[in-house]
A = this chain, B = another copy of it.
Amino acid sequence: MNAPSGESAAPAPRPTHASLFKHQVRIYYADTDAGGVVYHANYLMFAERARLEAMREAGHPHADLIAEHDCLFMVRRVEVEYLRPARLDDMLTITTEFFGETAATVSARQTFVHADGTVCARLVVELVCVRASTGKPVKIPPRWRRS
């Protein structure tokens, strides 16, 4: 939507491998359950938001991936460790670091941190780039590659 597409001759700077993207989420009633804490499945939803915002910030929105290449990233595997529950009105900071890219897959390590710096949860996710119309794995288009 606003990325360094073909408009300039020089290639846009690529984020280094160590790039850490930060995204904040506020906890509302919809996110909590009767245990008084954030429902465990909702961390996956927050993590998705953080990854999409990381792509947007890097200048390569996920929406362009669909519009220009008929591709999208699907979750193939996810692992979450819950350490200290979040509650109503908490503000969590999510750090996202992409790693382990192959032709069609890329992984991300994501950490949820409380306002006081303690770790709330840790997540590792493996994404596969698929053709939107068929669901078949395809090569990640160059602009979305990290190396």
Contact = CB atoms under 8 A, between A and B. Distances in A.
Interface of A: 1, 26, 28-30, 32-37, 39-42, 44-45, 48-49, 52-53, 61-63, 66, 72, 74-82, 85, 87-89, 132, 135
A102 to B, nearest CB: 17
16 contacts: A26-B53, A29-B34, A29-B35, A30-B33, A30-B45, A34-B34, A40-B74, A40-B75, A41-B45, A62-B89, A75-B82, A77-B79, A77-B80, A77-B81, A79-B80, A85-B135
B79 A78 contact: yes
Number of copies: 4
Q: Summarize A's interface: helix, strand, loop or mixed.
A: mixed
Nearest to A62: B89
Contacts of A78: 40, 79-80
A34 B88 contact: yes
A33 B29 contact: yes
Contacts of A75: 40, 82
A144 to B, nearest CB: 15
A99 to B, nearest CB: 18
B34 A48 contact: no
Best-surrounded residue of A33, A66, A75, A79 (most CB of chain B within 10 A):
A33
